[in-house]
Chain A
Amino acid sequence: MTTTLYTSDHEWLAIDGDVATVGITDYAQQQLGDVVFVELPKIGRALKKAEAAAVVESVKAASDVYAPVTGEVLETNAELASEPALVNSDAQGKAWFFKIRIADKSELGGLMDEAAYTAHTA
């Protein structure tokens, strides 16, 4: 059973036990426009909450993707390197960025559920 939470910076986290799969929201990809490049963190990197973890670039500009929680990067989505446009077509599905082992589950308390995130972007 996974739970999906959201950050105010427009990342989503699908939480399964102590592992979170992280991506950017559909709202975020709409704001960015056509994604042409994604830079992912190295596997094994220790990320601190709110640290720049990945970069997503449109034709116009580069934007940081922040670590929503503290933890170690377990896996990254190699498909995004060859097909960055997946971020536009399936932001909250196939276009996940990385998986992170959650170091401190209490950090999840500050995140939003879907209803709160929808209100945040309204």
Chain B
Amino acid sequence: MPVPDDQKSLRHTPLHALHVSLGGKMVPFAGYDMPVQYPAGVLKEHLHTRAAAGLFDVSHMGQIALRPKSGKVEDAARALERLVPQDIVAIAPNRQRYAQFTNADGGILDDLMVANFGDHLFLVVNAACKDADEAHLRANLSGDCVIDPLADRALIALQGPKAETVLATLCAAAPSMKFMDAGPHEVAGIKCFVSRSGYTGEDGFEISAPASDVERLAKMLLDNPDVLPIGLGARDSLRLEAGLCLYGHDIDTATTPVEAALEWSVQKSRRSGGARAGGFPGAEKILAHFDNGASRRRVGLRAEGRAPVREGAPLFADADAGEPIGQVTSGGFGPSLNAPVAMGYVPTDLSALGTKLFAEVRGQRLPLAVAAMPFVKNTYKR
């Protein structure tokens, strides 16, 4: 979705005034006026999140309740399985799972989180895709479900090794939650949905709160000396080091989940021979990629030098070979590694760990090697 040029047309999250008061440098992102960084700067914000705790405003993302007309959550789960290659029926109450909406060509329309809240499903989708996702759900699932966009809710993320102790002061249930647990909990007396998940590779929580209460909640969290506000700049460098895909960059309508190295997110029950194999858009192509392999693959890339290799840089097999063999889809400087990191698509026969490649940056071929992701070990509490 194009970002409007006109600043006046940008939408505000319920925390906009707080961002401005904290000195946030505001930029247009997915139609919203969002903080790219605060006075501490991207580098310090990134390192602080890995060392203590960072608070992110992700209220621009879409939150959608999928309510089964039958009253049985399993019916909503079965309906949603028509749109995603994941096993939704198997998500236990108060658990969540990573998923993708696929299209008829096997490409990815959006990636999302799906939680089972007992009597309905709770979805979190990307800001830039949320209107299209809502329309997609209405067009396909209205017979079985009420599609209920939760426009009056904000979403914040508290990430980092101190996230648990910080949140425990306001939410007694927080320490007992495990990675990908998700459910309704009171935080400082406010009725929230809390999940133990995030987009940084760190342990942490995402908290959906009523828009009217979120500023009060954010201020209480920021009162803790371990917590700094973190902008979109560090959110991007943190997720890149964690090897996590950014929709519209590392995955899009032209990449299948197999090409994107997201096989782990497609459960056996939906693959060939599984109990509910196929039955999602693009199943023929995606299952063929599972069965026969795909010709290209998303890989991690580490540079030998210190020059960041950024999105769009063409990749080559040799220092002087003519035709590019692939392209960088995300890249930059990893503050925790103190080195450049990137990811991109390469032919599968050049995707083995350690394969030497070259990226062209300002007319020079810089040596890279295919590297394991995550680049920084994740610290999820399993």
Q: B333 at interface (Cβ–Cβ under 8 A)? A: yes
A-B contact count (CB 8 A): 44
Cβ < 8 Å to A, chain B residues 39-55 = 41-44, 46
A33-B37, A59-B237 known, 12 other contacts, Cβ within 8 Å: A33-B41, A33-B42, A34-B41, A34-B42, A34-B44, A37-B333, A39-B307, A39-B362, A59-B42, A59-B46, A59-B333, A60-B332
Q: B239 at interface (Cβ–Cβ under 8 A)? A: no
Give, as a whole number of angstroms, the nearest-CB distance from B346 to chain A.
23
Binding site secondary structure of chain B: mixed
Residues of B within 8 A of A37 (CB): 306-308, 333, 340
Q: CB < 8 Å: which of A39, A59, A62 contacts B335?
A: A59
Roughly how many angstroms separate A55 CA and B305 CA in the complex, as a whole number? 15
Roughly how many angstroms separate A55 CA and B309 CA in the complex, as a whole number? 13
> Is the Cβ of A57 less than 8 Å from the Cβ of B41?
no
Give, as a whole number of angstroms, the nearest-CB distance from A5 to chain B.
27
A33, A34, A60, A62 interface centre (most CB from chain B within 10 Å) = A60
Residues of B within 8 A of A62 (CB): 308, 310
Q: CB < 8 Å: which of A55, A58, A81 contacts B42?
A: A58
Give, as a whole number of angstroms, the nearest-CB distance from B309 to chain A.
10
* Nearest A residue (CB) for B36: A60
Chain B interface size range: 20 to 34
Residues of A within 8 A of B306 (CB): 36-37, 81
Q: B149 at interface (Cβ–Cβ under 8 A)? A: no
Cβ < 8 Å to A, chain B residues 16-37 = 36-37
Cβ < 8 Å to B, chain A residues 58-94 = 58-60, 62, 81
Q: B93 at interface (Cβ–Cβ under 8 A)? A: no
Q: Which residues of A contact B (CB under 8 A)?
A: 33-34, 36-37, 39, 55, 57-60, 62, 81
> Is the Cβ of A60 less than 8 Å from the Cβ of B362?
no
Give, as a whole number of angstroms, the nearest-CB distance from B302 to chain A.
15
Q: List, sorted by A's number, 26 A–B pairs whose CB atoms are closer than 8 Å.
A: A33-B37, A33-B233, A34-B44, A36-B43, A36-B306, A36-B308, A36-B335, A37-B306, A37-B307, A37-B340, A55-B362, A57-B333, A58-B42, A59-B42, A59-B43, A59-B46, A59-B233, A59-B237, A59-B332, A59-B333, A59-B335, A60-B36, A60-B332, A62-B308, A62-B310, A81-B306
Roughly how many angstroms separate A34 CA and B39 CA in the complex, as a whole number? 11
